[in-house]
């Protein structure tokens, strides 16, 4: 039986924006993945910040943004867990569900590269799946030479082979939240149905947390 390729795309998606869906579609093409699974995170183990929208709102916005893209799927796996899931745990669960003939790819933007050494059991993660670093507007193209002191060359070469030169889309969720909180336009950054949802539910109106 031929191998299958599945790409997993984790993040807070607070909210999901056109940058996410554009690079995900490009990465899927590059990998030859039959699907991309969007996996919203409960809360980053590295950032001491709660997402500003509720889990249900973030799920609903992702569902709206990916509707119509047959190869895009949504998983609430991490949100259903009692505690935040480490990426390695999520990857292992998906690998177990899909079986050993499926190659798992995990997508990350280039803004995360400096944090990699702090990820939970990162060496195992790199060795067990295909960690793909995607280009991101405003950040240097991924370069792993700085990790030569901590990782063997085969690990660094694997990371370098899995770099994906995705289109540079200068959008971030933080910028969208800031713009909405100060009454500015975000039309070109969001899927129209996500923009409608945000307006209808009054999300991100104020920076003051309840």
Shortest Å, Cβ 80 to ligand ATP: 18
Which residues sit opposite 74 in a β-bridge?
A: 38
* Closest C-alpha among 145, 141, 139 to residue 157: 145
If one counts every other C-beta atom within 10 angstroms of the C-beta of residue 124, the result is 12
* Complex with ligand ATP: residue 3 or 203, whichever CB lies closer: 203
The residues of the shown chain that bind ligand ATP, judged by CB under 6 A, are 11-14, 19-20, 23, 108-109, 111-112, 134, 136, 169, 171-174
Integer angstrom CA distances of residue 165 from 14, 30, 108, 125, 186: 24, 9, 12, 21, 26
Integer angstrom CA distances of residue 44 from 11, 60, 101, 144: 8, 20, 30, 23
Shortest Å, Cβ 101 to ligand ATP: 26
Shortest Å, Cβ 23 to ligand ATP: 4
* Complex with ligand ATP: residue 125 or 171, whichever CB lies closer: 171
Nearest residue (beta carbon) to ligand ATP: 109
Question: What's phi and psi for 38, nearest 5 deg?
Answer: -85, 125
Shortest Å, Cβ 6 to ligand ATP: 17
* Complex with ligand ATP: residue 134 or 163, whichever CB lies closer: 134
* Order of all β-strands in the sheet with 35-40: 72-74, 35-40, 4-11, 102-109, 130-134
Shortest Å, Cβ 2 to ligand ATP: 28
* Complex with ligand ATP: residue 44 or 160, whichever CB lies closer: 44
* Complex with ligand ATP: residue 50 or 148, whichever CB lies closer: 50
């Amino acid at each position: 039986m031929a191998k299958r390729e599945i790409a997993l795309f984790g993040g807070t998606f607070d909210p999901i924006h056109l940058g996410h869906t554009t690079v995900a579609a490009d990465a899927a093409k590059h990998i030859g993945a039959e699907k991309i699974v969007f996996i919203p995170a409960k809360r980053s183990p590295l950032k001491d910040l709660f997402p500003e929208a509720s889990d249900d709102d973030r799920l609903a916005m992702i569902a709206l943004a990916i509707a119509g893209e047959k190869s895009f799927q949504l998983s609430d796996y991490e949100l259903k867990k009692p505690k935040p899931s480490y990426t390695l745990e999520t990857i292992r669960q998906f690998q177990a569900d899909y079986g050993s003939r499926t190659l798992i790819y995990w997508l990350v933007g280039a803004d995360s590269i400096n944090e990699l050494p702090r990820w939970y059991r990162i060496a195992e993660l790199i060795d067990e799946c295909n960690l793909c670093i995607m280009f991101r507007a405003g950040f240097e193209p991924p370069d792993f030479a700085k990790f030569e002191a901590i990782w063997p060359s085969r690990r660094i070469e694997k990371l370098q082979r899995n770099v994906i030169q995705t289109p540079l889309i200068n959008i971030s969720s933080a910028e969208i939240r800031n713009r909405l909180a100060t009454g500015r336009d975000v039309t070109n950054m969001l899927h129209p149905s996500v923009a409608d949802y945000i307006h209808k539910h009054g999300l991100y109106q104020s920076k003051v947390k309840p």
